[in-house]
Structure 1
Amino acid sequence: MTIAPDDARRGASHVYRSMRDVVQSLDDADTVPGKFEITKKGIVHDMMAPIGPHELTTLHLRKRLEKVMPEEVVAHTGEPDVEDAYEGIMRRPDVMVIAWADMEVPESFDPRALIAAIEVVSRSNPENDWVGKMSDYPLMGVPVYAIFDPRTGTGAVLTDIHATPEGPRYAVRKDFVYGEDVTIGEWTISTRGLPLYRGDGAEKAGSSGV
């Protein structure tokens, strides 16, 4: 059987809507910890501890960015999702750098309205941040993707989306280690004192404050 492109797109759209309904019901139930996202490969469940290095890193990054950004730009955490229904992808970055004006939407954020998406690597599923989102975010049109990895005290900032045979990909990657300054979009912040994962689950951080 031959499936025409438009038929394939309609079929994919139907599958995406079904997955979106499942994710919405799980979010509404609020009985399963972590967050559910829809990728090009299906639903992914990212377990996150409510406290600890992951959430502390998110807090540090939000506060450090908002110290240097203009008032009309925020480092937003939480809902809503970032959604590209055409591509069948729905993500929820740990931090979304976005203008106040672009937050005034009835449902999900437009990924192309984001200035940057920032992820703190999950200890339970690091491939989601280092592999899945590295492919999904340029496909969605997110111009800057910054990754902070508390497992290793390293990270990367990816920019400059360009076309490849596998689809849109980031052309420029700047790696960093904790302790260095890092530039996300137009703003530079310190990475000193960001917490690290430890084998016992406790956090470890340097002496510098937020």
Structure 2
Amino acid sequence: MSIAPDNARRDPHHRYRAMREFLEPMDDTLPGKFEITKEGIVHDMMSPGGPHEVTAAHISRRLEKVMPDELLAHNGTPDVENEPEGIMRHPDVMVIAWTDLDTEAAIDPHDVIAAVEVVSRSNPDNDWVGKMRDYALIGIPVYAIFDPRTGTGAVLTDIHPTPDGPRYATRKDFVYGEDVTIADWTISTANLPLYPNT
């Protein structure tokens, strides 16, 4: 679901700041995850636990086993924010250097080596459409999507200019069970859970 406050329909910077102020008191009181896109506020009503979090935890652990020690596959806070573009996202997993995580503010997207999303059952277009657009727009060089609805995914790379703004030029699809390369590291996708009744 996307919403935007009525008083935020003027210039883009004012609109973005109004949405940030609108979200601040809600983050700890309402379930799910709030993010800001070009279209407005996205509220993803993901369920705690289950295949979504298990998948994110597996990906994080598998990446950290093959990455150098100065990097981590982080699946906590803070958000990734590009205020000039009016975008604030929260990847399920982000590959980042420990030194770049040491900040009081949001993460600069240019410090993110790769973003990983586990597709939400409640709002799959947020991952397959919105984040695919936004992560390229704010310069995250690698975007990997894992979809527990279908047991498939994709890795997107090679940002290039288009008339609609920067977009990923290369997409490599995979099915669960295959090895997948995210940035410089290859991990297994074996034994990742699926959503029930899919």
Q: TM-score range by the shorter chain?
A: over 0.9
Match of 1:144 among 142, 154, 163: 142
Identity among equivalent positions (%) equals 70
Greater Rg by CA = 1
Secondary structure of 2:84 counterpart: coil
Task: Report what 1:156 is aligned to.
Answer: 154
Give the alignment's Cα RMSD to 1 decimal. Answer: 1.1
Q: In structure 2, what residue type is equivalent to 1:38?
A: I
* In structure 1, C-alpha distance between the alignment counterparts of 2:158 and 2:79, rounded to whole Å: 23
Gap regions ≥5 residues in structure 1 = 1-9, 201-210
Looking at structure 2, the residues matched to 167 and 97 of structure 1 have their Cα atoms a distance apart, in angstroms, of: 24
For 1:47-79, what per-residue CA distance to the aligned partner results, in whole angstroms no more than 9, with x for missing partners? 111110000001100110111111100000111
Amino acid at match of 1:15: R
Tell me the amino acid that sits aligned with residue 190 of structure 2. Answer: R
The answer to whether structure 1 residue 184 and structure 2 residue 182 are counterparts is yes
Structure 1 outlier segments of 4+, above 2 Å: none
How many Å separate the matches in 2 of 1:199 and 1:153?
A: 12
- Aligned mate of 2:59, from 61, 66, 69: 61
Q: How many residues align?
A: 189
Are positions 1:172 and 2:170 aligned together?
A: yes
Would you say 1:105 and 2:91 are equivalent positions? no
**CA distance in 2: counterparts of 1:143 and 1:67, whole angstroms:** 21
Partners of 1:105 and 1:139 lie apart in 2 by 23
Aligned to 1:19: 19
Structure 2, unpaired ranges of 5+: 1-9
Q: Residues 59-100 of structure 1: CA distance to partner in whole angstroms, max 9, x if unpaired?
A: 100110111111100000111000000000000000010011
SS of residue paired to 1:25: coil
CA–CA distance in structure 1, aligned partners of residues 124 and 30 of structure 2:
19
The CA distance in 2 between the partners of 1:172 and 1:119, in whole Å, is 17
3-state SS of 1:196 partner = coil
Tell me what 1:3 maps to.
none
SS in 2 for 1:194: coil
